[in-house]
A and B are shown apart, each in its own frame.
Chain A
Amino acid sequence: MRNLLPVLSVVAALLALWYAAVVPMNAQWAQDQARRAGQELSFAALVTDTMNQQRPRLPAPHQVAQELWNSTVVEEMTGRRGFMNTGTLSNRSLIYHGWVTLSATLLGFAIGSGLGIALAVGIVHNRAMDASVMPWAIASQTIPILAIAPMIIVVLNAVGITGLVPKAIISTYLSFFPVVVGMVKGLRAPDQMQLDLMKTYSASGRQVFAKLRWPSAMPYLFASLKVAIAAALVGAIVAELPTGAVAGLGARLLSGSYYGQTVQIWSALFAAAILAASMVALIGLIQRVTLRRMGMAT
């Protein structure tokens, strides 16, 4: 909690900076409107106008917060297609779009981290795999997979696979790499002394893995899972862009940019940020509980 005050003041400074930037960014539009109406804008009127435009170039923080509130709670509670009226999530609410993106993210994350762990186990135990697969795993990440996303999705569409799976594939690709790297490091974390001890116990390869390598890889696993889930979310969002998907946070970004709905773009962006933050926090929580039960808590 020692960092609370500095963090809060940095956040406050960022918000102040944002509010300060809103005025010059939106001043052009406000002044044009006033000139057309034949009025002179006082500075106070200019500031209030820039803070409350319909389609600002840069929406003010309170507008984004308002939109987030409206498109989640208000829409579901009172909206015509909201949850309270129809029993299903409204397709205009961010909860619905967030869930669409989140489900693809979670599926991709699960496959990706499973694949990453399996690859890491193979790499640690098999020298041929270490020499041949590892360089390609690294090279695969210099390929901008997000650039391939549209093609993967269109091709899978052509083969007849649509919906969740193509997005999850892209999330998988983005999330497997951090897990591979972290787990290879983690499974190799036991030092020679500990491995020698296992040898004096005459432990089999499987026992060494289960009782020494796997437990000592846990801190590395959680660190890389945090990176992986953030990457998986990015993958799912970008995967929604190219096909003109109708649902998901990426689709909200895209339609917002088509119709110039800046407030919608920003609220989708913040919804994504909140999702990412809460998933990382969730993994952090699991990490703390697990490590404490293993007696590794710091």
Chain B
Amino acid sequence: MTFLRASGGVQWTGMILALLVAAVFGGASAQGQPGFPVLASLGGVAIASGLLWQFRRGMYAVSLCAVALVLAIAAYLLADGATRHPGYWATVIAVWLGAWMLVARFAELPRRNGAVGNMQALLAPVTFGATLLWLWEVIVRALEVPRVILPAPSAIWARIIRSTDVLWIDFVQTFVKGALSGFAIGVGAALVFALLVDRSDFLRRGLLPVGNFLAALPIIGTAPIMVMWFGFDWPSKAAVVVAMVFFPMLVNTVQGLAATEAMQRDLMRTYNASWAQALFKLRLPAAMPFIFNGLKISSTLALIGAIVAEFFGSPTRGMGFRISTEVGRLQLDMVWAEIAVAALAGSLFYGLIALAERWVTFWHPSQRGR
């Protein structure tokens, strides 16, 4: 039973079994059964991935990708003719196990350096995500889930294509006007305030516990108050974002500014460095990992704050407004389209900050490790 211990061995065995079940059902009744090309290509995938261990390194990676491609084609064909037939489910399970096996093997591949290595790191998560999306699609189609409960990914995609103009207007209103401006103001204010706090030890000892406490509070609850003060349009959303972003950012920056060692500060003193010089040449760079940690936390908070604040009143545009009204009209594909846009915008925003972090704090151990 040694092959069970190889990576993806259990999944491979399961895949073969599921295919056998599918073939048996196929023999019993041809109606509603996945077609011969699907079963044949899946069988090919199973046999090929059983033999792959014979290949050498480079060949192994290439043939693994070829197997993945065949599996993807079979999965696509399978999603097209969805039925509730048991043989169909057996085939779906076979594809799922096959994809799982691929994920396990992608994860085991020896990592190269540089761009190829970066692509390699993406293989496993992308396969995993694609499998989830595919399962969602297949289950929705086969069970004929009503559109008002859960639309299929393909329907959501069609909706995104059809209503790009509305999505764009909402995106500008919520993300650019509400979240980004609030993020900039809140982060800027927190940075300035942190520099002030840093000059006095008394203030630092007083503000850190209070700031930590306030950062843990449900600040999002101030949204109705902000809407009352600043009106329905984007300034109230930006104000909520400022309030949410300020304390995490403040606490992180103050901690970061205190992160230098006594030895390093002494060195600055022997250079007779002024406060500003010591700040820009030593303490601010040393605080950067902490500041970026705060920026990352704030970036997700900003989008959440801007969207949730719209539930308490907004002009007739914006992601939060659209989500709450379209839920009421049971247009769930539009809701999911907004969520997809929000997720994409949030991930890109986070990714940009992570990139900037790698560029600025290249010296930090957590960035050098890879």
Q: Which residues of A contact B (CB under 8 A)?
A: 2-3, 5-11, 14, 57, 127-128, 130-133, 135-136, 139, 141-148, 150-151, 154-155, 158-159, 226-227, 230, 233-234, 237-238, 241-242, 249-250, 253-254, 256-257, 260, 262, 265-266, 268-269, 272-273, 276-277, 280
Assuming A131-B124, A144-B304, A151-B332, is B213 touching A277 (CB within 8 A)? yes
- Using known A-B contacts A139-B347, A242-B311, A242-B324, determine if residue A6 contacts B206 with beta carbons closer than 8 Å: yes
Check B224 for interface membership: any CB of A closer than 8 A: yes
Not counting A254-B312, A257-B313, A260-B228, a sample of 18 additional A-B residue pairs whose C-beta atoms are within 8 angstroms of each other reads A6-B203, A57-B228, A128-B8, A128-B103, A128-B108, A132-B124, A132-B125, A132-B128, A133-B128, A144-B307, A148-B339, A151-B332, A226-B216, A234-B220, A249-B221, A257-B225, A272-B221, A280-B216
Instruction: Tell me the smallest distance from the CB of B187 to a CB of chain A, in Å.
Output: 17
In contact, A273 and B220 (Cβ under 8 angstroms) = no
Can you sample 29 A-B contacts with CB below 8 Å? A3-B205, A6-B204, A6-B207, A7-B205, A7-B206, A8-B206, A9-B206, A57-B228, A128-B7, A132-B107, A132-B124, A136-B125, A136-B129, A141-B300, A143-B343, A144-B300, A144-B304, A144-B342, A147-B304, A150-B311, A150-B327, A155-B332, A158-B149, A230-B216, A257-B227, A257-B313, A269-B222, A276-B217, A277-B213
Asked whether B202 is an interface residue with its Cβ less than 8 Å from the other chain, the reply is yes
The answer to whether B220 and A237 have CB atoms under 8 Å apart is yes
Given A131-B106, A132-B127, A237-B220, answer yes or no on A3-B209 (Cβ-Cβ < 8 Å). Answer: yes
Give A194 Cβ to nearest chain B Cβ, in Å.
Answer: 20
A151 and B304: CB pair below 8 A? no
- Set B218, B324, B342: member contacting A143, Cβ < 8 A: B342
Neighbouring A residues of B304 by C-beta, 8 Å: 144-147
Which residues of chain B from 313 to 356 have a CB within 8 Å of any chain A CB?
313, 319-320, 323-324, 327, 332, 335-336, 338-339, 342-343, 346-347, 349-350
Instruction: Flag if B205 contacts A262 (CB, 8 Å).
Output: no
Residue count of chain B within 8 Å CB distance of chain A:
62
Q: Report the nearest A residue to B332, measured CB to CB.
A: A151
**Given A3-B209, A128-B124, A238-B308; A158-B217 close (CB under 8 Å):** no
What's the Cα separation between A130 and B222 when bound, in Å? 38
Interface residues of B in 185-217 (CB under 8 A from A): 202-207, 209-210, 213, 216-217
What are the residues of chain B within 8 A of A276 when measuring CB–CB? 216-218
Query: Pick the contact of B221 from A6, A142, A268 — CB < 8 Å?
Result: A268
B230 shortest CB reach to chain A, Å: 11
Residues of B within 8 A of A234 (CB): 218, 220
- Residues in chain B near residue A145, CB distance under 8 A: 304
Please determine whether A142 and B327 come into contact, CB atoms closer than 8 angstroms: no
Min CB distance B124 to A, Å, is 4
B221 A269 Cβ-Cβ under 8 A: yes
Interface flags, B81-104, vs A, CB<8A=1, else 0: 000000000000000000010011
Q: Convert B108-137 into 0s and 1s, putting 1 for each residue whose CB lies closer than 8 angstroms to a CB of A.
A: 100000000000010011011100000000
Choice from A7, A14, A139, A268 contacting B209 with Cβ under 8 Å: A7
Q: How far is the CB of B122 from chain A (nearest CB, A)?
A: 8
Partner of B218, one of A10, A237, A254: A237
Q: Which of B205, B319, B350 interacts with A147 by CB under 8 Å?
A: B319
Kindly identify which residue among B121, B210, B228, B299 contacts A262, using a CB–CB cutoff of 8 Å.
B228
Question: For residue A140, which residue of chain B has the nearest CB?
Answer: B343
**How far, in whole Å, are A237 and B176 apart by their CA atoms in the complex?**
26
| B124 contacts across to A, CB distance below 8 A | 128, 131-132
